[in-house]
Structure 1
Amino acid sequence: MAGDEKRFKAAFDSLHSLAYFAPEVDAALTGIGLRPGRMPYFAGRSAAMGPVGPEVVAATFYNFNPEVVARVIPRAWTLATPEQVLEARFDGVDKALTRLLGDHVKSDEVAEAAELAREASAGCTAEGRPLYAAHAGLGWPGEPHLVLWHALTLLREHRGDGHIAALVLNGLSGVEALVTHVATGLGFTTATAKLTRGWSDEQWAAAEAGLADRGLLDADGALTEEGVAVRDRVETATEAASQAPWRHLGPEKLARLEELGRGLSRRVVEAGAFPEGVFAKRRS
């Protein structure tokens, strides 16, 4: 099922990730008092865990510079409660999906995708997955497009928690995970990774030096044979830890969910869900 899971991620990741780019979500979160910039992202994604400190947010988000997290958390909780943040986030997603999908937001395809994604999420388990568990403890929304988005959030955070476990198992810190991911050439550029995750040139260079000392990067910053092997082990472990929802759903329903996801993802991308040049493959 690993290949099926990868295809699912490719089909559906945009439908979840649009929440981090949609102006409606940002407006909803700043509208309740959060400051523009990074605060809506960190508070919006972590609010399900309650008014946690920056250490918890940095640990569960993993590849962000903890110093950057600490600039907005816990201050965010003095401006809006986690409950207010969660309500605003769903309100923003509702408006964003309604804009991007138009009349199709009430279609049979959205309702079917929501039902299948929710069924898949029922196969997830909470042990060792704090960010998934927090979101799984929230109540389900009523509208099918929001059910779909919430189910995709559960599936994405379930996979993300498993990915972090794989990174820890293979001895990669948050910044080292990001550096080695960039070195694969499959996602961020170095400049984008530093900017979006908040790492300074000095911190990045120190991580590269440490990885080179361990034999994972060569003198040009490329992955060595051992570096490639480590990244391969991370991906294999992540896939193995992410299979429960797809086994629960079964191959036929998964194929149908993938088909629906590709169509819906194409709609939101073509409707302008992401700024030009944004590539939604951000896992590290």
Structure 2
Amino acid sequence: MAGDEKRFKTAFDSLHALVYFVPEVDAALTGVGLRPGRMPYFAGRAAAMGAVGPEVVAATFYNFNPEVVARVIPRAWTLATPEQVLEARLDGVDKALTRLLGEHVKSDDVAEAAELAREAAAGCTGEGRPLYAAHAGLGWPGEPHLVLWHAITLLREYRGDGHIAALVLNGLSGIEALISHHATGRGFVTAAAKLTRGWSDEQWEAAEAGLRDRGLLDDGGALTEEGIAVRDRIEVATESAARGPWNRLGAEKTARLEELCRGLSARVVEAGAYPAGVFTQGRP
């Protein structure tokens, strides 16, 4: 896309990420046996990889506390198989998009966006992209709105895998990625980051101390010059690693897909797909 993080998030990511918020998906996943709480998120997103252990989930999700992951994985796979989870997840997405888009779910805009997004996803490659590759191994749904959701899921996980590679290359652990992103002013507020990613106050303070020792944070918690340079390198690397699908699609089709998805994203947000303020935060 060239596209930066904010453009991707507002035009595309909101059409995928509703899966983590809408009641239809939560009901579908708990309906096949998963326990309410964190389990539907971890199992729902990881199921494409099969019945993997907590180490794999923590590694590929990256900025969650591994201790939190281990509380629900692998137990989730004793309650529902990955295949059951995947089927339930897609069924929940189907119901949610049908509700959120209303009659527009059958529109020409959705059909066109689905076709373009699928073409863009064909420009992704699996090397070094475990979450993308796992989802790319799933069959394509039949309905255009589900094709669109699946294609954007592929684009999102492809971009996310590349982002994690950039974090690793620049020496940031999951919790350090959260803290340094917060320090840019674009990330989660501290309390939300700790709560949603499962880090304790002690773990957070220890990671902050480590970043200060490395010269990336100052005593007030702001990024130093070197810290800013590290975050800038991460963003440049993330964008560079994400170009494949947009190069495949070409500038004209990419602009058209962004236009269509921005309109569809506005529809689902306005229809109440997310709690207030969710899409003000970026990827760590």
What is residue 59 of structure 2 aligned with on the other side?
Answer: 59
Per the alignment, do residues 5 and 200 of structure 1 end up closer, same or farther by CA in structure 2, a change over 3 Å counting?
Answer: closer
Partner of 1:40: 40
Provide Cα deviations, 1:224-270, integer angstroms capped at 9, x if missing partner. Answer: 01000000000000011000000000000000001001110110011
Partner residue, 1:191: 191
Matching of residues 173-188 of structure 1 within 5 Å: 173-188=173-188
Other-structure match for 2:73: 73
C-alpha contact 1:25 1:96 (8 A) present in aligned 2: yes
The gaps in structure 2 that reach 5 residues or longer are none
- The aligned counterpart of 1:94 is 94
**Does structure 2 retain, via aligned residues, the 8 Å contact 1:105–1:145?**
yes
Q: 1:16 aligns to what?
A: 16
Structure 1 position 5, deviation (Å)? 7.5
Cα root mean square deviation, aligned:
1.1
Instruction: Provide closer, same or farther for how the CA distance between residues 4 and 58 of structure 1 changes in structure 2, counting only shifts above 3 A.
Output: closer
In 2, Cα distance between equivalents of 1:279 and 1:198: 20
Unmatched tracts of structure 1, length 5 or more: none
Contact 2:159 2:238 (C-alpha < 8 Å) held by counterparts: yes
Q: How far apart are residue 168 of structure 1 and its match?
A: 0.3
Instruction: Specify the SS of the correspondent of 1:222.
Output: coil
1:279 deviates by 2.5
Query: What are the residue-to-residue correspondences of 1:24-35 with 2, within 5 Å?
Result: 24-35=24-35
In structure 2, the residue matched to 1:170 is 170
Give the whole-Å Cα distance in 2 for the aligned partners of 1:68 and 1:198. 6
Q: Deviations over 1:59-87 (max 9, x none)?
A: 00000000000000000000000000000
Residues in 2 aligned to 1:46 and 1:248: alpha-carbon distance in whole angstroms:
27
The residue aligned with 2:270 is 270
Change (3 A) 1:275 1:6: closer
Q: Give the drift of 1:280.
A: 5.7
The answer (yes or no) to whether the contact 1:187–1:279 under 8 Å persists in 2 is no
Q: Answer yes or no: is 1:155 the counterpart of 2:142.
A: no
C-alpha contact (below 8 Å) 1:5/1:246 kept by paired residues: no
Moved more, 203-212 or 182-191: 182-191
Residue identity matched to 2:146: L
TM-score using structure 1 length: 0.98
Structure-2 separation of matches of 1:4 and 1:283: 11
User: Are 1:13 and 1:280, in contact at CA under 8 Å, matched by a contact in 2?
Assistant: no
Mapped contact 2:119–2:249 kept (Cα < 8 A): yes
* Distance (Å, rounded) in 1 between the aligned partners of 2:277 and 2:4: 27
Matched, 1:117 2:117: yes
Query: Do 1:17 and 1:280's aligned partners in 2 also have CA atoms closer than 8 Å?
Result: no
Residue 7 of structure 1, CA deviation: 2.7
TM-score (norm 2): 0.98
CA distance in 1, matches of 2:69, 2:279: 23
Aligned to 1:249: 249
Residues 181 and 35 of structure 1: CA distance in aligned 2, closer, same or farther (over 3 Å): same
Q: Distance in 2 between matches of 1:76 and 1:8?
A: 31
Secondary structure in 2 matching 1:279: helix
Q: Please, which moves more after superposition, 122-131 or 274-283?
A: 274-283
Give the CA deviation at 1:278: 1.9
Sequence identity (%)? 85
C-alpha separation in 2, matches of 1:14 and 1:65: 24
